[in-house]
Amino acid sequence: MSNRAKRIFVLTGAGVSAESGLGTFRDRDGLWARYDPMKLATPAAFARTPREVHAFYNARRAALLRAEPNAAHQALARLEAGLADRGGELFLCTQNIDDLHERAGSRQIVHMHGELLKARCTACKTVNVWRDDLNVTDSCPACQRTGTLRPHVVWFGETPFHLKAINAALLGSDLFVAIGTSGAVYPAAGLVEDANRAGIRTCEINLEPSANAHSFDEARYGPASEAVPNWVAAV
Ligand code: APR
């Protein structure tokens, strides 16, 4: 029986979209080096200054619509199809709020930090696809209330989405791979320890060693657009 992994859990972070031109957060020129997350990515910030928060996400949404998936996104879409062909499965859990995995052809994706191209109504809780600017003057397509829409993204202090499904998929996998993430934000950063405790092989693919690089069995370093296709070709 080859020891080729059949059920792979991949966790991606901003590094997988860096070469598509979307900023990372904690690199030197990252978003949190230029903006204060406590003023733009918390529920209190949105309550206090909704127009500033909307402007921040409107700029990122416009940048996303101009961006394209890169070779790393495309390689992960190929891996999902290849694993399915051999009776395996790829569980793609992303911290990213962009839709580049979708546009590259990945099908089973879990956005644990939400999605930039969706808006949620704080009154009726409906989630709508939203590709334009979002402002306090907009009305909810479902309940028609005005001023109740927010980006459908997870802010600091809020609970990430789909944690039960993520944990079940992790424990059912035989390989955990973290790609393009600094290992700075929990619970995503704790998944590698959960994998280690469950005896699941772990691999990090990143531009440079992450904060929890020591927790991984194996590591491949380099730009995601090269390191991910090379890894997919070998796995
Ligand atoms: N190829 C591969 N990795 C890269 C590249 C690249 N071209 N460029 C940067 N990286 C790596 C960096 O070395 C870093 O380890 O990607 C990682 C990006 O880390 P962060 O900027 O912290 O992004 P991420 O880990 O996704 O942040 C997690 O923090 O602010 C929250 O909600 C936000 O989802 C985000 C979470």
Please give the distance, rounded to the nearest whole angstrom, from the Cα atom of residue 149 to the centre of ligand 1: 27
Position 23 scores a pLDDT of: 87
Residue whose CA lies nearest to ligand 1 atom number 16: 15
| Domain span(s) for CATH 3.30.1600.10 in the chain | 28-66+116-153
Query: From the CA of 181, how far away is ligand 1's center (Å)?
Result: 4
Atom of ligand 1 nearest to the CA of 32: 30
* Nearest Cα residue to atom 36 of ligand 1: 185
**In angstroms, rounded to a whole number, what is the distance separating the alpha carbons of residues 130 and 12?**
23
pLDDT score for 159: 98
pLDDT at 206: 98
H/E element, 102? helix 100-104
Please work out, in degrees rounded to the nearest 5, the angle formed at the alpha carbon of residue 44 by the alpha carbons of 130 and 211. 85
Parallel, antiparallel, or unpaired: how do β-strands 149-153 and 127-129 relate? Answer: unpaired
Pick the catalytic residue from 73, 113, 152, 162.
113
What would be the CATH architecture of the domain defined by 28-66+116-153? 2-Layer Sandwich (3.30)
d(CA 154, ligand 1 centre) in Å? 16
Give the pLDDT confidence score for residue 4 in this predicted structure.
Answer: 82
Query: From ligand 1's centre to the CA of 113, what distance in Å?
Result: 13
Q: Locate the ligand 1 atom nearest the alpha carbon of residue 13 and give its number.
A: 26
Strands (DSSP E) found in the chain: 7-12, 89-94, 109-111, 114-121, 127-129, 149-153, 175-179, 201-206, 218-221
Active site annotation includes 113: yes
Q: Of 105, 103, 80, which is closest to residue 91 (Cα–Cα)?
A: 80
The reply to whether the predicted model has a pTM over 0.95 is yes
Which pLDDT does position 92 carry in this prediction? 98
pLDDT at 191: 98
Q: Choose which CATH entry (3.40.50.1220, 3.40.50.450, 3.90.1170.50, 1.10.10.60) describes domain 7-22+69-113+160-234.
A: 3.40.50.1220
Among protein residues, the one whose CA lies closest to atom 25 of ligand 1: 181
Give strand ranges (E) for 26-106. Answer: 89-94
For ligand 1, say whether the CB of 210 is within 6 Å of any of its atoms: yes
30 lines ligand 1 (CB under 6 A): yes
Q: Are strands 175-179 and 201-206 parallel, antiparallel or unpaired?
A: parallel
Residue 113 in contact with ligand 1 by CB distance below 6 A: yes
Q: Residue 77 corresponds to which tokens in the numbers above? A: 């879409």
Which residues of the chain are in CATH 3.40.50.1220 domains? 7-22+69-113+160-234
- Kindly give the confidence (pLDDT) of every residue in the chain, 235 residues in length, as a single tens digit, with 9 standing for 90 and above: 456 889 999 999 999 999 999 989 999 999 999 999 999 999 999 999 999 999 999 999 999 999 999 999 999 999 999 999 999 999 999 999 999 999 999 999 999 999 999 999 999 999 999 999 999 999 999 999 999 999 999 999 999 999 999 999 999 999 999 999 999 999 999 999 999 999 999 999 999 999 999 999 999 999 999 999 999 999 9
